[in-house]
Structures are given as C-alpha cells and as structure tokens.
Amino acid sequence: MARDQVPTNQRVKAGEECVNWQYMYSILLCELRSQAPTRAGNDSSLTALHGVKNHLISLPVAQLCPLSANYVSSRIKLDREKEKVFEMASRARLFKEYKEVQRDRGQDSDIQLLCDETNIYRWTALIKGPTDTPYQEGVFQLAINVPEQYPLVPPQVRFVTKIFHPNVHFKTGEICLDILKTAWSPAWTLQSVCRAVIALLAHPEADSPLNCDCGNLLRSGDHRGYKSMALMYTRLAAATNVSNSSS
C-alpha cells in the first residue's frame, strides 16, 4: 500500500506512536547516563537501547503496511519491548528520585517520602498541613502507587488519613487534582506532587468537589462551618501522626 493511499488518521497515529517511543528512549538514555556514565555495565545497556531505537524509527512504516501474520507477530514483539523500555525507564527515574530524597532528607520539613523496601513502585508520604488552615495541626499520610509507564503516566495518590476537604473523597481518599490527571507532565516528581497536594489543602476548589458536603459549605459561603468540620477531623485523625512523624 502506497503512503498516499493510507488514510490521514492512520499516518497521524503512526507518527504519534513514533514520537512516544522516541521520547521514552531519550528519557531512559539520559537516566542511565546520569547514574553511572563510566560504568562498564551501562555500555551494553546503551547499545541495546540503540538497537531498540532502530526498531522504533521504522515503526510508522510498519503501521502503514497491510496487516499480515508476520506484522501482527512483530507488533506483539514490539509491544513487549515497549513494556520493557517503560519499566526500565520508570525504575531508573524512581531510583534517581530515591537518591535525591535520601540526599535532601530533612531539608523539606513539610514532606517525608518513604519507599517500600520491597517494591520501588510503592511509596508512602507524610505531609504536614499548611499553616493558617484547619489542617495545620495534623500530619497526613498519602499512599502513592507508581505505574510502570511513569513518568509518562502520573502516579496514583490517595489520602490514607481521613480528611475533610472538598477535593478529597472522604471514604476512599481519592484526590481531585489536575496534575494527577490531564495536566500531568514528566517534569513532575513525587516530591513536587506532594507539594502540590499541600497547596491544594491551602486552596480548596469547591467547584469540583469529591466531598459534596464540604463543597456545599464553601459554595454557600459557610466558611466557619467548613473550618470547624475540617479542624475536628484533623484533630481526630491526623493529630496522632504528629508525634510519629517527628520520631
């Protein structure tokens, strides 16, 4: 099939696929080089990556060809390679962030990030409530699950500690925050995500509530009622974490 005979939407899709692959390759390449540029073991990894890149460059051409058994088989192989590249890149990125957290430990007293000793994709964060808010007396625990496509895909973050906030689901702890959904960028780190959650506590958005009762208080102008409820739950659920986080 000639290129001119291929529908425009297929060519666009093929081009987007190639861009995604190339971007993922560049991230992994930078991460490996920054970790140990002189280590002999990295040479073989970089050589393998160059081989993967050659496959990726030809991917749009393969997508424009008629489907065949060989093509389907090659796509399955490429999908598996893609998953491996994603996993390698996410691990490299997370190990880099882990080293930065260990190096800068104590510099940010509002955030304490802890990585699961058995799973680099599971993290726990303890964040202090921002000052001049009903949450300032508490320390809140966050559960962070990082997907293998990170940093192209945002982490899943939820409150473990009960909190009364319009943008946090009271039962599940789900957080309504744009950077965890449509506004995500690979430039964000787990540390900066925690900082964004703290900012959300200080600046609740009543127009997009996950806790409708809390959102209704703010929309109706009952700020006193909102602060009273938020402070009560902070003292009940989050104040007990203060002594644990400081020890």
Q: Which residues are catalytic?
A: 176
* The residue type at 216: N
Could you give the count of Cα atoms lying within 13 Å of 56 in the half-sphere of its Cβ? 21
Both tokens of 214, joined, read: 């809390």
Which residues are within 8 A (CB) of 220 and not within 5 positions of it... i.e. 6 or more apart? none
Residue at 46: amino acid letter: L
* 93's tokens: 């990125």
Per the CB < 8 A criterion, the answer to whether 168 and 211 are in contact is: yes
Quick one: tokens of 111? 């955030």
